[in-house]
Amino acid sequence: MKQYLTLLLDKKFGLLWLGATISILGDGLTWISLTWLIYELTGSAKDIGLLVIVYTAPVIVGGPLAGYLLDRFDRRKVLLADNLIRGAVMACVPLLHWTNQLEAWHLYAAAGAYGLFKMISLAGIPTAFPSILPEEKLTTANAMESLSFGVGGVLGPALGGVLLGLIGGANTIALDSLSYFVFAICLIFLPPLPASHLDLEPAEQIPGIRPALDFIRSAPAIWFITVMFMCANVGLGMLSVFLPIYVRETLHGDATTFGIMLSAATAGELIGAFLVGMLVWKWTLGRSIASTQVVVGVSFLGLILAPGFALSAAFLGIAHFFTSPLTIWAQTIRLRLIPAHLRGRVISLLRTLMQAAPPLGALLCSHLLTGFGVPVTILALAIIIAIPGLIGIIHPALSHENTIA
């Protein structure tokens, strides 16, 4: 607990973390509100599917753009511009609603703007950590970032559901708009975070994505962990599809059962992130990541063996408990190894690649469920997650020498 309090009392980190956490919470409000408003306006499930695509697909373009901006300009100003732009875009939704002019395409435009710019914060926040903190505090900082996303993932949709009934979808999105402006105010009080390329010789200031790709190819730990995590995200994408079916067909549960299962997963993830941030880990991070990913995959096998709801929820919580160290330790390795002038481009590119994996898992899962049923799907999920971890335990890419600066 002392590590967390020390960071929160650090004015620079405290402002960055507080603003980011409020904004992440607001994002949870917006997603549930946008889906509800689309359904109210069109009554079409296909339009909700289109909204999902518009909300997520622009990151393919926005990810590399975010990396370039973060490495080229003052990162505080880039984050500030992102929050002012997205705050203004989201504010248009309630304004159009209040004037009875809101149409479906306005919601698609807002969703698209979110997807286009979201990687600026996803990459920009961790990229800023080494500029304001010493290396020994980076693991705890990464844990606090994971806690922010975990809390936002739990409280955002839950609070959004309550607010939908009380004030409606458009007014709920107005609160998300305010959350962006709150983050912007926090950023105003931070010192400049100048792009590190300014310290380079002109010949070394190579624009574009090629320097990031060259670095990833030259850093075995970076590319190997990314491949491992893409496999893990394929498995987690499968989980998002089969879990409601598992709840209904295997556990014979209802929507309440499904909600409790999701809560167990989130609780495990939050507890894991909290504990990792308090530990001083002495073992090789690369091997620790690989071993933990094996544990995650094996834990999911419990869903096949579990005879009832309580044990199934426990196994799901255990699996997600062990997913937390993966992200936190990997981010620590990245911040150690990636040169300062490439952090924006490399981290945004890596996160874009990893975010592209869950839809592949969802597609695979739909075919496996149709052809083979839930148990075989769970087995496939466990194998897809665990096998890369087993390889990582012995692969030289994750040796101590390859995971320290």
DSSP secondary structure string for all residues of 24-85: HHHHHHHHHHHHHHHHHHH--HHHHHHHHHHHHTTHHHHHHHHHHHHHHS-HHHHHHHHHHH
Residue 47 pLDDT class (50, 70, 90 cuts): confident
Give the pLDDT of residue 200. 45
Select 210-399's CATH number: 1.10.1240.10, 3.30.70.3280, 3.40.50.1000, 1.20.1250.20: 1.20.1250.20
Residue 202 pLDDT class (50, 70, 90 cuts): very low
Residue 45 pLDDT class (50, 70, 90 cuts): low
Backbone conformation region of residue 208, classed left if phi is above 0, alpha if psi is from -120 to 50, else beta: left
Residue 376 pLDDT class (50, 70, 90 cuts): very high
Give the pLDDT of residue 129. 85
3-state helix, strand, coil in the chain (%, to 5): 85, 0, 15
Query: With pLDDT > 70 as the criterion, what percentage of the chain qualifies?
Result: 93
Q: Is the pLDDT of residue 204 over 80?
A: no
CATH architecture type of domain 2-191: Up-down Bundle (1.20)
Q: What is the pLDDT of residues 95-131, one digit of tens each?
A: 999 999 989 899 999 999 998 998 898 888 888 888 8
Query: With pLDDT > 90 as the criterion, what percentage of the chain qualifies?
Result: 31
Give the pLDDT of residue 174. 93
Q: Which residues of the chain does CATH 1.20.1250.20 include?
A: 2-191, 210-399
Pick the residue with more confidence: 32 or 24? 24
Q: Residue 344: CB partners within 8 Å, gap ≥ 6?
A: 66, 67, 68, 69, 70, 71, 72, 75, 123, 124, 127, 195
Give the pLDDT of residue 43. 78
Mean pLDDT computed over every residue of the chain:
85
Give the pLDDT of residue 1. 67
Q: What integer is the mean pLDDT of 161-176?
A: 86
